[in-house]
Amino acid sequence: MTTVDGYELQARLLRALSHPVRLRILNLLVKREACVCHLTAVLRRPQPYVSQQLAVLRDEHLVAGRREGTIVYYRISDHHVAAWLSHGRQLAADGEDSSAMFPPVPEGALPDCPCPACQAEHSGGHHQSQSGDAAAGQPVRARDQS
């Protein structure tokens, strides 16, 4: 009977996590699922490079893929990954303002991304900005008491 060394397993997970680009990928996949071409557009790196980083994360089951037609959409595999990312950020920030250290990842559609999710948002999601009717509060007329 072979016993699995938990420390060894944990070290393998941390090795997969210990890469700034892979951390950025995970940080994005916490917010939304994305295909390789979307990640390529966000990270502005060559697609083969992004695929390679995704493969490392997939091998350690940190991300899971969902196939739709010819495209695979990735997301984080479970909430423990999100919790780890959040704790890792707090440790790295060491009490400083973490929002300044970790620039936010774009959550919406990217204008220059060819992925189906972004294209769908561009064609369908026209944002209607409503300039709220400045309903001028009618001054209450003082009642004539005579």
Closer residue to Zn ion, CB minimum distance, 49 or 80: 49
In whole angstroms, give the CA distance from residue 37 to residue 41. 6
Interacting stretch for Zn ion, rule CB under 5 A, among 56-64, 70-78, 83-91, 118-126? 118-126
Comparing CA positions, the residue from 97, 94, 121, 95 lying closest to residue 107 is 121
- Among the listed residues 57, 63, 81, 118, the single contact to Zn ion using CB under 5 A: 118
Closer residue to Zn ion, CB minimum distance, 97 or 112: 112
Q: How far is the CB of 126 from Zn ion (least distance, A)?
A: 17
Closer residue to Zn ion, CB minimum distance, 17 or 36: 36
Q: How far is the CB of 99 from Zn ion (least distance, A)?
A: 24
Q: How far is the CB of 17 from Zn ion (least distance, A)?
A: 24
Footprint (CB under 5 A) of Zn ion, residues 24-63: 38
Per the listing, tokens 């991300």 go with 63
- Among the listed residues 17, 28, 39, 113, the single contact to Zn ion using CB under 5 A: 113
